[in-house]
Structure 1
Amino acid sequence: MTDLKTLIQPTKSLVKKVGSFIREESKNFKLSDIEHKGFNDLVSYVDKEAEKQIVSGCKNILPEAGFITEEGTETERKEEFNWIIDPLDGTTNFTHGLPIYAISLALMQHDKIVMGFVYEINKDECFYSVKGEKAYCNDEEITVSPINKLKDSLLATGFPYYNFEDMNKYLKILDELMQSTHGLRRMGSAAVDLAYVACGRFQGFFEYNLNAWDVAAGAFLVQQAGGKVTDFKGENDYIFGREICATGKLNDSLLEVIRKHWDA
């Protein structure tokens, strides 16, 4: 039986090592190095090489695990354990020189996340937790914000960069929240947004059109830090369901605004 706690230190070392590689590559990265997977869906050699390094390291840490990866470096899934990897969440920020991007790495056991890491590379902040333990940032315990009123909150979101068919509904949600909170932020990395909810910098985060590798680690961190994570229906299909609402202490009030316009 795998003792998940023994995986923390080698996994932390791995994400920091790969983060150092990404940080160094950012110094000489050029826009001409960008590749396009689809409309506004960017990738670079840095994403691909970082994923290769993470996959290789994860195979050493837990050889019996399979993989769910953004760049398709490794695609074999296993019955019990699977790593969910985004080697560079915030690729568009990275390619344009904006220093907000992170490695997102989660371990799923059967259908439950049991360990999560978000390493924000340029701030050198490693957020992590394992099932049964607290959540941490650089070894300091973190908790979600105690703020429980929308009027006192600062929220994060993301804007879709393809599939705009629900844009009008989304704009109505933004319109109401702009007028009823301290503000909305669009950081460009769902992993960072979720880590910031986990440590109380944001009181909530919501977005749609996301993939499992964008949210698996960060959503787990929010829960481990005392927060709540659901899909837009208030249910639990947020890892593979492509929509997420994560909060500290105001889940019901944020969901109420989202559902008023999303379900209309």
Structure 2
Amino acid sequence: MVSHSGLITVMDRAARKAAPRLRRDFNEVQQLQVSRKGPADFVSMADQRAEQTLVEELKRARPDWGFVLEEGGEIEGDPTKPRWIIDPLDGTTNFLHGIPHFAISIAVEEPARPGQMRGDVSHGLIYQPLTDESFWAEKGRGAWLQDRRLRVSARRDLADALVATGIPFLGHGDIRKWSAIFAQVGPEIAGIRRFGAASLDLAWVAAGRFDAFWESELKIWDVAAGILLVREAGGFVSDFRGGDRMHERNEYLATNDGLATRLHKLVAQGVKGL
């Protein structure tokens, strides 16, 4: 069995502690108490309970670390120590519609160095409660699914590539930008998928199930763990112009080395002049 750091053990244990309640709530989705927090953007009691469990478990292990939470905002910790970045239920809309595709995402962000917009993510874990799949990565030590090493796909021909994306919807995203990219990318590839959970999209790129992924207007808790997974699986993550300003531009393109150059050109051509 592959060895990993104590931090991954802590993260995996916290995710598995939150998962049983998510599974129970999913099976009783019609009885969930749901409140609206924005256009087509829902938060359920399941989100809140999962986040509370994760915070309690992680705080017990690292009491002086801060948090960046989807539901609870930022919780200050020791600024010289790392902090947790958590999405307790990525794919909430899937969850509320009874679609079995959602995940818990946990990342460790190191303190930012001078001149850095954000600190480096050193550990990431994405856990799918229904399939019991635990995707995890440590910086410099690879990406894994349980104890199996992950590698991005080896496909080099766009005509064979299966690409995931996030399509703009009510109150979210830039349909003009997405449509311009799709017009360039769509005719060149084997297929497009929109499954509704960016963390799992990135984990599946790392696992070679998808050959690439693009989306904009994401939050840091959607992508922090997934970006590390893709990179540690031998892939590339950039902004739409092939640069490293993903968070600043809020643009994310993930793929393997064989497709990166051509996809960057297509996506850049799509957003040119917008």
Q: Distance in 1 between matches of 2:78 and 2:245?
A: 21
* Letter of the 1:17 counterpart: K
Determine the structure 2 residue equivalent to 1:257: 266
Q: Is 1:237 equivalent to 2:238 in the alignment? A: no
Q: Distance in 2 between matches of 1:247 and 1:161?
A: 24
* Comparing 41-50 and 247-256, the one that deviates more: 247-256
Describe the shift of the 1:239–1:82 C-alpha distance in structure 2 as closer, same or farther (beyond 3 A).
farther
1:150-200 CA-to-partner distances (Å, cap 9, x unmatched) read 111100000123456731231132133221111000010000100000010
TM-score, normalization by structure 2: 0.90
> Structure 1: where are the runs of 5+ without partners?
none
Q: Distance in 1 between matches of 2:78 and 2:177?
A: 38
TM-score, normalization by structure 1: 0.93
Q: CA deviation at 1:262?
A: 1.1
Describe the shift of the 1:219–1:165 C-alpha distance in structure 2 as closer, same or farther (beyond 3 A).
closer
Q: Distance in 1 between matches of 2:135 and 2:221?
A: 16
Determine the structure 2 residue equivalent to 1:61: 61
> Structure 2: where are the runs of 5+ without partners?
112-118
Determine the structure 2 residue equivalent to 1:104: 105
Determine the structure 2 residue equivalent to 1:37: 37
> How is 1:8-47 mapped onto 2 (pairs within 5 angstroms)?
8-30=8-30, 33-47=33-47
Q: Is the 8 A contact 1:15 1:103 kept in 2?
A: yes
* Letter of the 1:255 counterpart: H
Q: CA deviation at 1:61?
A: 2.0
1:50-93 CA-to-partner distances (Å, cap 9, x unmatched) read 01111111112222211111001652254231110000000000
* Letter of the 1:254 counterpart: L
Q: Distance in 1 between matches of 2:236 and 2:173?
A: 28
> How is 1:1-264 mapped onto 2 (pairs within 5 angstroms)?
5-30=5-30, 33-72=33-72, 75-79=75-79, 80-110=81-111, 111-163=119-171, 166-239=174-247, 241-249=249-257, 250-264=259-273
Give the 3-state SS of the residue equivalent to 2:5 in structure 1. Answer: helix
Determine the structure 1 residue equivalent to 2:114: none
1:139-159 CA-to-partner distances (Å, cap 9, x unmatched) read 111111111221111000001
* Letter of the 2:104 counterpart: I
Q: Distance in 2 between matches of 1:95 and 1:145?
A: 32
Q: Distance in 1 between matches of 2:205 and 2:98?
A: 24
